[in-house]
Amino acid sequence: MTQTIEPGNPEAPTKPADTGTGRPFAAAAPGSIPAALKRRVPKYADLAPLMQFKKPEFSRAARLRRASTIWDLRDMAKRRTPQAPFDYTDGAAEAEITLRRAREAFLDIEFRPGILRDVSRVDLGTQILGKPSRLPVGIAPTGFTRMMQSEGEYAGSQAAAAAGIPYTLSTMGTASIEDVAAAAPDGRNWFQLYLWTDRDRSLELIERAARAGNDTLMVTVDTAVAGARLRDVRNGMTIPPALTIKTVLDASYRPAWWFNFLTHEPLTFASLSRYTGTVADLINSMFDPTLTFDDLDWLRETWKGKLVVKGIQTVEDARRVVDHGADGVVVSNHGGRQLDRAPIPFHLLPDVSAALKADNSDAAVILDTGIMSGADIIAALALGADFTLIGRAYLYGLMAGGRAGVDRAIEILEKDMLRTMALLGVSRISELTPDHVRILKK
């Protein structure tokens, strides 16, 4: 006969509970202090398992292991990098409103998880522009990268190749197209182009990129003129960095940066061999304010690989560049470095994605600007992005620890994405939908 015991049933049978030692628990007198709460002198046997003193580690590898977020890497980067190159990476245009809003946009969301799904295996793999990527994120084009840390583009391209993701070399990168291709021969390399007024020089870059095996050309179109990057102005940012009294004093706190900079080869650009002058002067000499959609048509005829247009900030322009032959668009405001108070890419993303789908377009929708965590990436994918790009997030890792720091940045983002996907109840990118994210405010 089985007796059912219901909670609160005073007639339920009782007997002393077994302690696991064969002896029942002794019932405590009402109102007495339980034995477990009575104070006693601790025994060494109790303390020994708690004493796990470790030898302090001060190596770069140990410091990078302790970084749990991209923000941790940023803190490390700031300590190790002179102010001018750090601010070039960290800063944005004018009052930096756009960058601040772009980051806040990722914070002002609510994830909506599903429960009771099998997420024992989460797959972050995806397809972008006709080829697989192990993660739904690639490295964005960044200028003057070897000024941030001497390994520069070599570290970025090799880390991307090791992670199985694309790497984009900037026209204003500080390593040549050929050298980057040689440094990461097994990687998927893309090339970012600023169209020059001198079309012959632009054509030369395009041909070099093709010969070096780049399968995607990314043309940036939001740079009619240089943005007012006030941190660079205040820091007197030049290429190469000038040895003024200020920089010499700054160097005293960052000797490793200066040692690496001065003992490696001088900066070599993707698009020219040498340059001496201010960043603003170089940018304005490279950008062409006369660009039109006719130039995009010329590019489409000239470049036989995948063509992506970066700097899309309206739905209308997204549709129009696709009509002119673009295989993909990057919804981006240049990391807040051009027009301050520009549209926020994360907010614009759902409209661009919906519009291109309504047009039955298979153009890839890529997002950058503001990404600082794997959760940011997953939110973007849920709201319609096919892929994402990181700039500052990987540069903080580079400045914190060279190639190993970039590896760590990618590793942090990957762990973030895996955890976020599992907690959302999805096991592959294709399962993400707009229902998984709610934007709280715009």
CB of 74 closer than 8 Å to CB of 133: no
56 residue type, one letter: P
- In angstroms, rounded to a whole number, what is the distance separating the alpha carbons of residues 99 and 103? 6
Radius of gyration in angstroms for the set of CA atoms belonging to the chain, rounded to a whole number:
27
For residue 132, which phi and psi values (nearest 5 degrees)? Answer: -75, 150
Nearest partner of 303 among 365, 215, 223, 188, judged by Cα? 215
Handedness of CA 216, 217, 223, 227 (dihedral sign): positive
Count CA atoms within 13 Å of residue 55 on its CB side.
1
- In angstroms, rounded to a whole number, what is the distance separating the alpha carbons of residues 243 and 251? 9
For residue 401, which phi and psi values (nearest 5 degrees)? Answer: -165, 30
- In angstroms, rounded to a whole number, what is the distance separating the alpha carbons of residues 430 and 438? 18
H-helix segments, 122-198: 145-148, 152-163, 177-183
Q: Which two tokens stand for residue 342?
A: 């520009």
Q: Given the residues 264, 334, 347, 436, select the one marked as catalytic.
A: 334
Could you tell me the end-to-end alpha-carbon distance of the chain, in angstroms, rounded to an integer? Answer: 65
How many CB atoms are located within 10 Å of the residue 390 CB? Answer: 26
Count CA atoms within 13 Å of residue 191 on its CB side.
30
What's the count of helices (H) and strands (E) in the chain, helices before strands? 18, 14
Handedness of CA 403, 175, 337, 276 (dihedral sign): positive
- In angstroms, rounded to a whole number, what is the distance separating the alpha carbons of residues 100 and 102? 5
The yes-or-no answer on residue 436 being catalytic is no
CB of 353 closer than 8 Å to CB of 383: yes
- In angstroms, rounded to a whole number, what is the distance separating the alpha carbons of residues 416 and 92? 26
Q: Which two tokens stand for residue 229?
A: 């990057």
Active site residues per annotation: 334
